Amino acid sequence: MSCVFCQIVEGTNPGDILFHDSRVMVFRDIHPQAPVHLLIIPKKHISSVTRLTGEDENLLPHMMTTAIEIAKREGLWGKGFRLVINSGQQGGQLVPHLHLHLLGGKQLSGQLG
């Protein structure tokens, strides 16, 4: 059985998909913590940032540049936004698939934990 994010990539679970290319997909978080709360995920299943290998060396930069382009499209450019990767249970990772949160659209708290 694949994880919920893999199911969105496969098209077997719906998602509000904003962008995809050969390596990543961007969709809206179903439990948003800000007016804009998007997830940038690799299409390849990688359970956590701690599971990246040498063959994935260009994946994180691609996820970051994708997030920046999407932030521009969502009207966050110049206003500010937050990019977050959680890792493991104590790090707040709820879905075991690497994902980058893009949050913005309001004044975000300085609290991170």
Catalytic residues: 99
Place of tokens 């496969």: 10
Instruction: Find the angle CA(76)-CA(38)-CA(46) to the nearest 5 degrees.
Output: 135
Of 83, 81, 113, 77, the residue nearest 100 (C-alpha): 83
In whole angstroms, give the CA distance from residue 104 to residue 13: 25
102 Cβ partners below 8 Å, 6+ apart? 26, 36, 37, 38, 39, 40, 67, 70, 71, 74, 76, 81, 82, 83
